[in-house]
Amino acid sequence: MKIFPTSAFKKSFKKLPKEIQKSAIGKDKLFRSDPYSPQIKTHKLKGKLSKFWSYSVSYEYRIVFEFINQQTVIYHDIGTHKVYK
């Protein structure tokens, strides 16, 4: 799977606590092997974000992404539930 992080994602990632960054890297590996793994709780978003999906990095942190096709994903943002706004 090819994943392309946006500049906004990279900027948000750098601002995260180090332990969340490490967790995000681990969850990314899991996502690449199985995007619908129950461990990351992948789900489609609704409303104004209806073209996006999200998966859990931790209880509080999420990665918001977009499927371009089955093998290509764009990571748009990472953070707390505030990324949905």
pLDDT, tens digit, 9 for 90 and up, residues 24-37: 999 999 999 999 99
The pLDDT value given to residue 81: 79
**Which residue, 57, 53, 49, is CA-closest to 13?**
57
pTM: 0.93
pLDDT at 11 over 90: yes
- Mean pLDDT in residue range 61-72: 96
Burial group, residue 35, by CB count within 10 angstroms (0-12, 13-18, 19+): middle
Q: Summarize the chain as % helix, strand, coil (round to 5).
A: 40, 30, 30
Query: Which CATH topology does 2-79 take?
Result: YaeB-like fold (3.30.2310)
Percent of the chain scored above 90 by pLDDT?
A: 92
